[in-house]
Structure 1
């Protein structure tokens, strides 16, 4: 058996990112991967401006008990364009252009304001520094400065930043096309009567939902019976229309598990088992130009292998720059944990923080067939392959769920 790290390394070495590009409107760019670097075409801010409401002036004009004449107002969106004589100042609001003759802003709470019938005067309560409460042009982003690198996956805040720079569209890698199907005579589509000895097809729904979080296009080939002709036809359809095919069940040895045999007929197989629990039966291969991932049939095992093993590979195929793996945290386990040495275990748990630090506990039974153990969890309790059962109170490693499961 391969360790999870060996399996991921081997798969990453096999696959290459997509290269096809397309230009999409900014409103459609969420979770898309940039095909080339984005450079700013302007300074942000584009001009010297006030960081808060107050009075704009020259520091050199400020003398103890020496009033300054208020000669006008600079408002956001309405610049003060007249000359500001020596010994004068202007009212200024946050974001307004700083008149070029002036070099600082004093908050309105730090001046004494007096008014006559013809004019207003202020006396500063302190002598500010040059540039105080002033945002300089290009202070946030300078013209021609790199904003995002190629391979960056766009997040909500990124779209706002691009919009603030005037970009209406971006060039991205085309979306990965991922085909999925479930197979098994024991499976019934949700909403249909459930005969004895059958279960509802849950895997396809959770797999599709997790894939949606990755921003890929999904081709759902449906629920297939354990018939070689139907399964082979689905493989051929995926080979013609998808970059990736992900199946659930059919990768372990069994008299009705045809996926393994058809894959051997149509493509190349890299490996079939990984030393993790749940998720030991796992397949990775190539069908012409379509990559194949065969997940276990047990629902929790399918979820774990998709998140832990397949997600990094889909990221590389999508052109996404390598990202740091999820951070393992230390937590005190509040319950005893059962484990046999041999495979790395991903037990489902719930972690929280109290005054003494991070705590974690498992949530009910850890059967790989019980989706409730993962639906009610927010992390994995990661137990190394060589570890055994642990008593309550031990320090353990936890891995918070990625965005695929949150």
Structure 2
């Protein structure tokens, strides 16, 4: 296996870089209390314990008849009906011995009853009901079967989605304590960049990184201050960094961290703070850097749009999640069957635009250039091939869906 200048030895592995970043992530302390309607996507800042049993009382899981199972000793036992209970009613009086009570889903089980028989299994004739032999506690939601009073429901560090919001609401909790959203200062570097909608002269391109990364970070629940385009000039970079560092928790730039003569970013960061690491064994996205500007952490993403987005999703995301106080920070890959071959091993871990197939496997998009954005829009996620590995069709390959990477 040959090694090109772009794949020179000494590159840090993706896993090593993520581990270094997580080790340096400082947990947040600032928190706010929000109504549930505003808490989706925020990170829980407190443990939640059940204030009562869930369910709070035994209730029916079916429309049917509440009985005592001990009364059902023979097939199709005939019992008199002593009343009815609907959802929202109290439990009423105790069940009359050797009787049945009409009951509806969600209604509390009356004292003396321990079983519910589904209505379709019964035969009613006037005020009597014939009921088959039924298993004790059938169709009954027991008190506390989901959660016992005082038990841990959600741990601090959990990012709240619709599932958690619904659960908190079911417990009667109208507000919740969450960490203050992380403020990301974003800048795009490059003399060639112009904002979308501007007229382009020869050699100029529209800035895709600024809008794309801002949308990505906001989709993860962070606040973004986008300072736009900064030219590849040391003075302009210093000024932009100083302004952003006074407003933000973390600084993220795209471009200017490669080895070209116009890549001044690393020198400026070293001057204003510290350059802690540079260059990762990932493709696309090798020229990724990390350090600090003053006391603010800084991530330098590559300038190629696809490289910037992929390194943000794979490397920046777990770090930013940890800075936000989130407990779970890395995405789990699915193992699928490769419906493609990768005959030549590469010295860097590959993240390839890929799509799911009808047979449950994964296939690659025909275009994998790091400056190409359209393949991502035509793909379902990223297939991952480890450094030094080749692949033949039919072998397992890890797959990271965009559905999880983008949310």
**Is TM > 0.5 for Structure 1 vs Structure 2?**
yes
Q: Aligned residue for 1:74?
A: 85
Q: Relative to structure 2, which stretch is displaced further, 25-34 or 315-324?
A: 315-324
CA deviation after TM superposition for structure 1 residue 178, in Å? 0.7
CA deviation after TM superposition for structure 1 residue 228, in Å? 2.8
- The CA distance in 1 between the partners of 2:396 and 2:71, in whole Å, is 64
Q: Aligned residue for 2:309?
A: 303
Q: Aligned residue for 1:329?
A: 335
Structure 1 residues 27-80: Cα deviation after superposition (integer angstroms, max 9, x where no partner): 111121111210010111111111100011222333546532212110000235
Q: 1:84-123 alignment to 2 at 5 Å?
A: 84-115=95-126, 120-123=127-130
CA deviation after TM superposition for structure 1 residue 227, in Å? 3.2
Q: Aligned residue for 2:400?
A: 400
Q: 1:276-287 alignment to 2 at 5 Å?
A: 276-287=282-293
Of 150, 168, 178, which aligns to 2:174?
168
Of 366, 369, 374, which aligns to 1:364?
366
The aligned length equals 395
Matched, 1:343 2:343: no
- The CA distance in 2 between the partners of 1:344 and 1:373, in whole Å, is 19
Q: 1:40-55 alignment to 2 at 5 Å?
A: 40-55=50-65
TM-score when normalising by structure 2: 0.92
Segments of 5+ residues of structure 2 without an aligned counterpart are 1-10
Evaluate the alpha carbon distance shift between residue 278 and residue 63 of structure 1 in structure 2; reply closer, same or farther with a 3 A threshold.
closer
Q: Classify the secondary structure of the residue corresponding to 1:241.
A: coil
Evaluate the alpha carbon distance shift between residue 176 and residue 121 of structure 1 in structure 2; reply closer, same or farther with a 3 A threshold.
same
The answer to whether the 8 Å contact 1:52/1:94 transfers is yes
CA deviation after TM superposition for structure 1 residue 158, in Å? 0.8
Structure 1 residues 66-105: Cα deviation after superposition (integer angstroms, max 9, x where no partner): 5322121100002352343223221100000111121111
Q: Relative to structure 2, which stretch is displaced further, 373-382 or 275-284?
A: 373-382
Evaluate the alpha carbon distance shift between residue 341 and residue 110 of structure 1 in structure 2; reply closer, same or farther with a 3 A threshold.
closer
The answer to whether the 8 Å contact 2:93/2:111 transfers is no
Matched, 1:274 2:275: no
CA deviation after TM superposition for structure 1 residue 323, in Å? 4.5
- The CA distance in 2 between the partners of 1:375 and 1:362, in whole Å, is 13
The answer to whether the 8 Å contact 1:73/1:80 transfers is no
Segments of 5+ residues of structure 1 without an aligned counterpart are none
Q: Classify the secondary structure of the residue corresponding to 1:70.
A: strand
Structure 1 residues 162-210: Cα deviation after superposition (integer angstroms, max 9, x where no partner): 1000011111221111110112121111112222211110011111111
- The CA distance in 2 between the partners of 1:323 and 1:261, in whole Å, is 30
The answer to whether the 8 Å contact 1:381/1:396 transfers is no
Q: Classify the secondary structure of the residue corresponding to 2:285.
A: coil
- The CA distance in 1 between the partners of 2:254 and 2:329, in whole Å, is 27
TM-score when normalising by structure 1: 0.92
The answer to whether the 8 Å contact 2:32/2:178 transfers is yes
